Amino acid sequence: MKRETAFFIFGGTGDLARRKLYPVLQSLYKKGKLSGLRLICALGRDADKLKDYTDRLDPEFARFFKFLNFDVTEKKDYETLRREIEALPNVELIFYLALPPSLFEPTIINTGSLLRRFSNPRKIVIEKPFGFDLKSAKSLNFQLKRYFTEREIYRIDHFLGKVPIQNILSIRFSNYIFEGIWNKNFIDNIQISATETLGLEGRASYYDRIGALRDMIQNHLLQILAFLAMEPPAVMSAERIRDEKVKVLASIRRIKEEEVDRYAVRGQYSGYTHELGRDSNTETYAAVKLYIENFRWEGVPFYLRTGKKLKEKKTEAVVLFKEIPGNFGRILGCMPDQNKLAFEIAPATRVIFRFQMMPPTGFLACTVESSMEIDLSKHFGQEPPEAYETLLEDVIDGDQTLFIREDESELAWEIVQSIIDRWREDEDVPLYKPGTWGPREAEEFIKRDGRRWVLV
């Protein structure tokens, strides 16, 4: 029998709660995965305005809702929360911080102080960005550990709820053909891209404070890198998998501040400051080259890039294998292109393998690139579950595999901190035209290594 559960959604009147959390909870309830549900308490300013929201929900599910006007910075409002908890003896309490990052610490402190009066099992879920830099991430972890154990903390990165990302581990560790070639001897480089065609889209004040590096590379793209590069865990358990990810992040060569221009490049699309309404040196494009200093990956560059108002919307990880020996290319009279294995995360969910084949023009003719593709939704006859549905089900079940551990969160900030510091001091940001692939400097950045950017 599943334990009885109550959800308390801080920021319960916000966009994330309405667009993602409530529909996902309803879906889980309809599938019978919330059989012990007692309460969903939406805590937020002007909560009364959300009461009509339940009209759009299934009536059977909507009866669990309660809306409370609540200011997370006001200690008196936590007395209202105390009364709600008192009515739920022995019920597991799940607190979800769907809040701006600036409100995380006061919410953790006030909620944690309140929970000292109760013995209920509890969990706390925290949205990204987890901190603004290394110092703030350490401060946030310190406050969390004052009131919660690591087993009760769920630092959420919704990218890890996406099936194509989870499939990276499945394909690597379930297919022996890949393990023998998944190393520096056969792989030339790995590129992880998250490109967007949209601009600020109403997120101006938030985005200008964060920028592309913090928004995507420090969290989402580094997580994908960890899945691609980690060693097989001895046991497929949450802690062993997270141990291996931490080893990868700890092995990434740290970039010195004076080296940043060699290992990172940024840009800003033309018109950004006009949209923003003020001058700004915040990057809307960022690319970073990282090296993992261990036996498997020594010398293999990992290129991570992201940007807004680019030519195409796509999130993808591409493994580029080494070229064939040059003497074979001379025999053919041409050089076959590199083999590529791509994990497309958006807009489609596909695994793609690009390889060389001889066309029907004669033996040893120049090969052409051919493709094998698996569309995950079509192949299995159903759409993959929504990322938040996967992750919220894991929270309910107590499975932390797809959540970020304390040491993992701090290591990710440590990797990019020197870049943050260097770019903060430099007002000169290269511009690029919307609808292109970013600043000219980004092309030069990878060409210096004799490579080019690739999307499959």
Token pair for 333: 């009279």
Bridge partners, 320 (sequence order): 189, 340
**How many angstroms separate the CA atoms of 191 and 195, rounded?**
12
Binding residues for substrate: 158, 162, 196, 215, 308, 313
Q: Are residues 20 and 168 in the same domain?
A: no
Q: Are residues 361 and 433 in the same domain?
A: yes
454: in domain: no
302: in domain: yes
pLDDT of residue 211: 96
**How many angstroms separate the CA atoms of 121 and 431, rounded?**
51
CB atoms within 10 A of CB 381: 6
Opening angle at CA 175, ends 173 and 178, nearest 5: 85
250: in domain: yes
139: in domain: no
Which residue matches tokens 């890949």?
A: 178
In the listed set 106, 127, 148, which residue is the last one of a domain according to the structure?
127
Which contiguous run of DSSP H or E holds residue 344?
Answer: strand 340-346
CATH of the domain at 87: 3.40.50.720
Q: Are residues 328 and 223 in the same domain?
A: yes
Q: Are residues 94 and 211 in the same domain?
A: no
Token pair for 12: 């319960």
Bridge partners, 96 (sequence order): 9, 125
pLDDT of residue 368: 78
Q: Among 122, 220, 305, 350, which one carries the catalytic annotation? A: 220
50: in domain: yes
Q: Are residues 104 and 55 in the same domain?
A: yes
How would you class 419 by CB atoms within 10 Å of its CB: exposed for 0-12, middle for 13-18, buried for 19 or more?
buried
CATH of the domain at 172: 3.30.360.10
Phi and psi at 275, nearest 5°, equal: -60, -40
Is residue 143 within 8 Å of 108, Cβ to Cβ?
yes
Q: Are residues 102 and 172 in the same domain?
A: no
309: in domain: yes
Q: Are residues 53 and 185 in the same domain?
A: no
What count of Cα atoms within 13 Å lies in the side-chain half-sphere of residue 167? 19
277: in domain: yes
pLDDT of residue 121: 97
129 cis-preceded (ω within 30 degrees of 0): yes
Question: Domain containing 65: what range?
Answer: 5-127
Q: Are residues 243 and 368 in the same domain?
A: yes
Where the chain has pLDDT below 70, the residues are 1-2, 326-333, 361-365
Q: Are residues 168 and 116 in the same domain?
A: no
Q: Are residues 276 and 362 in the same domain?
A: yes
**How many angstroms separate the CA atoms of 144 and 240, rounded?**
22
CA distances from 321 to 182, 188, 264 (A): 9, 5, 23
pLDDT of residue 331: 61
pLDDT of residue 326: 67
Amino acid identity, residue 117? R
pLDDT of residue 226: 98
Binding residues: 11-18, 71-72, 128, 158, 162, 196, 215, 308, 313
Bridge partners, 57 (sequence order): none
433: in domain: yes
Q: Which of 106, 109, 98 is nearest to 13 (CA)?
A: 98
Binding residues for NADP(+): 11-18, 71-72, 128
pLDDT of residue 363: 60
**How many angstroms separate the CA atoms of 7 and 164, rounded?**
28
Q: Are residues 339 and 271 in the same domain?
A: yes
In the listed set 76, 108, 127, which residue is the last one of a domain according to the structure?
127
| Sign of the four-CA dihedral 249, 253, 254, 259 | negative
- 22-44 pLDDT per residue, tens: 999 999 999 999 999 999 999 99
Q: Which SS3 state, helix, strand or coil, does residue 193 take?
A: strand
Which contiguous run of DSSP H or E holds residue 41?
Answer: strand 37-44
Is residue 352 within 8 Å of 372, Cβ to Cβ?
yes
Has 220 been annotated as catalytic?
Answer: yes
**How many angstroms separate the CA atoms of 35 and 5, rounded?**
9
CA distances from 338 to 186, 304, 306, 356 (A): 11, 19, 23, 8
DSSP 266: E
Domain total of the chain: 2
Query: Which region, left, alpha or beta, applies to residue 329 given φ > 0 means left and ψ of -120 to 50 means alpha?
Result: alpha
Token pair for 277: 């309404």
Q: Cβ neighbours of residue 3 under 8 Å, at least 6 residues apart?
A: 36, 91, 92, 121
Is residue 189 within 8 Å of 320, Cβ to Cβ?
yes
CA distances from 29 to 54, 57, 61, 193 (A): 15, 12, 7, 35
Amino acid identity, residue 66? K
Q: Are residues 240 and 299 in the same domain?
A: yes
